[in-house]
Amino acid sequence: MIKRWNVLSLMLLAVLLFVSACSGGAAQTGVDSGEAVQSENNTEADKTVQEDEAAKTAVDVPDLGGRVIKIAAWWDLKPAGETASDKARLDKIAEVEKKYNVKIEFVNVPFEEYMNKFTTSVLAGEPFADIVQMEYKSALPAILKGQLLPLSDFTTAENNINQEGNLIAKYPAIAGNYYAFESPTSIGLGLHYNRDLFKKLSLPDPQELYEKGEWSWDKFMEVTKQATKDTDNDGKIDVYGFSGWAIDVIRHFTAANGGTIADDENGKEGLSDPKTIEAAEFVKRLYNVENVVKVKTGDKTNWEESNTFKDGDVAMFTAAEWQLGDLTFSVGVVPIPNGPQGKKEVTYANNTAAAKFIAKGVEDPKIVYQIYEETFDIPQIEEYPGQDYLESLYTDEKDIQMIREHIAGTGRILLDDAYAGYPIGDYVNDIIKNNASVTATAEKYKAQAQAAMDKLGSQ
């Protein structure tokens, strides 16, 4: 009996040890049989969710069957591939083309043909491009005729433009709504000056005057008078304080004085506005009293005067950054000085404002816009928007800083050119070329100006 009991005891002990070992192994891994089953279930669930998401994504990304998405301007918008950002965007364009099965084509139409091509194709119900570059002054009549779509028709709350806006930015409203979009930038029109000439003539640096809070109309006039002189003593003035296209000069100084040539927001002409009259008086003094303006063509209101500064004998000039190529002298830039009624928030008239629009009649505009926005979803190589462009034009970091911090975003959009028959040219001719009274000239043309605005608004 004793031997049998010992054998049974040993057998029972072995069974207990085996069970203990199995449970001990489970304890060491921290997983019991129930947990193992749950883990398998979770894995299967995750896999199902991933498959569902992939299927959902596949549904959300339409196959457009090789459709050509056309993006038009009066220059070639295709990235040149010369910078890291350009190369990254070209890669992104190829990726987006494959994703949606589309071909993105950049259409270059000469400026003088552009708006006619736009209008003709839209009226025919077949816009010549899916996304069009357009100046605001051309966009206004198109909007009033129902030819352009507002952003709300083709963007959603999820689009970048309605969130961070770091890929595509919403541009200023026009005709009471938002229509325009563009990649963010840091550009603005300032008063440029010939640094070499300033040093040669020992003139005070405008940027230093600005930083000290001394950059005003009076100081600007003082510097132009100091710069206008006969440097070779032959009895003729050979260096001038200022040059520019008189029409734009009055536009800019009016904006810098808190006024506008045409008050688009309120539908009111601005020629007779006291702020405009004050600015026109100041510009008239530049041309006809102090005689500090170089007029190369002999015609004070000739558009070609906007390039007179390139001769190198003009101290200061109003010019856009794209006019600075191939100069033989160093340039600086400072905001156009504010007038007595102006504020630093507005320093120039942006009468050439332009951006991207989508026309009525474009097929699936939401998809078109989505595709366009995605082509900008690239690593942000630039430290700020427009860095490559600005650094290609300005070699002095102080100029870039001045543009980014004090000029960019200070332009007031001006649409006087949108109104057929608006008499800005006659107004400036009478004041600058004919030396007529500013007040009398404003009174002479204000009815015509208002009629031009009213006519467009009633269409």
Q: Name the token pair of 394.
A: 């300005």
Residues 235 and 107 in one domain: no
- Amino acid letter, residue 397: E
Q: Name the token pair of 245.
A: 């296209």
Residues 152 and 295 in one domain: no
Residue 59, domain member (yes or no): no
Residues 225 and 168 in one domain: no
Give φ, ψ of 270 to 5 degrees. Answer: -115, 5
Residues 370 and 428 in one domain: no
Distance from the Cα of residue 424 to its chain's centroid: 26
Residues 164 and 300 in one domain: no
β partners of residue 103: 68
Residue 264, domain member (yes or no): yes
DSSP 381-411: -SSSTTHHHHHHH---HHHHHHIIIIITT-E
Residue 381: predicted pLDDT: 87
Residue 44: predicted pLDDT: 54
Indicate if the pLDDT at residue 2 is higher than 50: no
Residue 160: predicted pLDDT: 97
**What is the 8-class DSSP label of residue 286?**
H
pTM to 2 decimal places? 0.83
Comparing C-alpha atoms, which of 447, 455, 348 is closest to residue 407?
A: 348
Indicate if the pLDDT at residue 23 is higher than 70: no
pLDDT band at residue 22, thresholds of 50, 70 and 90?
A: very low
Residue 155, domain member (yes or no): yes
Residue 186: predicted pLDDT: 87
Residue 314, domain member (yes or no): yes
Residue 276: predicted pLDDT: 98
Residues 303 and 329 in one domain: yes
Indicate if the pLDDT at residue 10 is higher than 90: no
pLDDT digits (tens, 9 = 90+) for 317-329: 999 999 998 899 9
Indicate if the pLDDT at residue 110 is higher than 60: yes
- Domain with 129, as residue range(s), is 67-184+354-374
Average pLDDT score over residue span 367-376: 98
Q: What is the CATH number of the domain that holds 320?
A: 3.40.190.10
β partners of residue 169: 182
Comparing C-alpha atoms, which of 349, 292, 352, 446 is closest to residue 139?
A: 352
DSSP 318-359: EE-GGG-TT-SS-EEEEPPPP-TT--TT--EEETT-EEEE-B
* Alpha-carbon gap, residue 87 to 80, rounded angstroms: 8
Question: What share of the chain has pLDDT > 70, as a percent?
Answer: 87
pLDDT digits (tens, 9 = 90+) for 186-200: 899 999 999 999 999
* Alpha-carbon gap, residue 433 to 451, rounded angstroms: 25
* Alpha-carbon gap, residue 13 to 177, rounded angstroms: 87
Residues 292 and 255 in one domain: yes
pLDDT digits (tens, 9 = 90+) for 148-170: 999 999 999 999 999 999 999 99
Residues 338 and 359 in one domain: no
Residue 217, domain member (yes or no): yes
Average pLDDT score over residue span 8-37: 37
Residue 452, domain member (yes or no): yes
Indicate if the pLDDT at residue 4 is higher than 70: no
Indicate if the pLDDT at residue 338 is higher than 70: yes
Last residue of a domain, one of 341, 374, 407: 374
Residue 22, domain member (yes or no): no
Q: What does pLDDT average to over the chain?
A: 89
Residue 39, domain member (yes or no): no
Indicate if the pLDDT at residue 3 is higher than 60: no
Domain count, the chain: 2
How would you list the strands of the sheet with 67-73, edge to edge?
102-108, 67-73, 131-135, 354-357, 181-182, 169-170
Distance from the Cα of residue 326 to its chain's centroid: 24
Residue 380: predicted pLDDT: 87
Residues 6+ apart with CB under 8 A from 448: 421, 422, 423
- Amino acid letter, residue 319: A
Residues 120 and 158 in one domain: yes
Q: Where is 315: in which H helix or E strand?
A: strand 314-319
* Alpha-carbon gap, residue 277 to 240, rounded angstroms: 25
Neighbours of 25 (CB within 10 A): 10
Please say whether the beta carbons of 242 and 286 come within 8 A: yes
Residues 332 and 359 in one domain: no
Residues 6+ apart with CB under 8 A from 330: 194, 195, 196, 395, 396
pLDDT band at residue 73, thresholds of 50, 70 and 90?
A: very high
pLDDT band at residue 458, thresholds of 50, 70 and 90?
A: low
pLDDT digits (tens, 9 = 90+) for 381-434: 889 888 988 999 998 999 999 999 999 999 999 999 999 999 999 999 999 999
Residues 255 and 194 in one domain: yes
Q: 42 vs 275, which has greater pLDDT? A: 275
Residues 81 and 92 in one domain: yes
Last residue of a domain, one of 325, 341, 374: 374
Comparing C-alpha atoms, which of 120, 190, 248 is closest to residue 393?
A: 190
Indicate if the pLDDT at residue 60 is higher than 70: yes
Q: Which region among 41-50, 101-110, 118-127, 235-244 has the lowest average model confidence (pLDDT)?
A: 41-50
Indicate if the pLDDT at residue 260 is higher than 80: yes
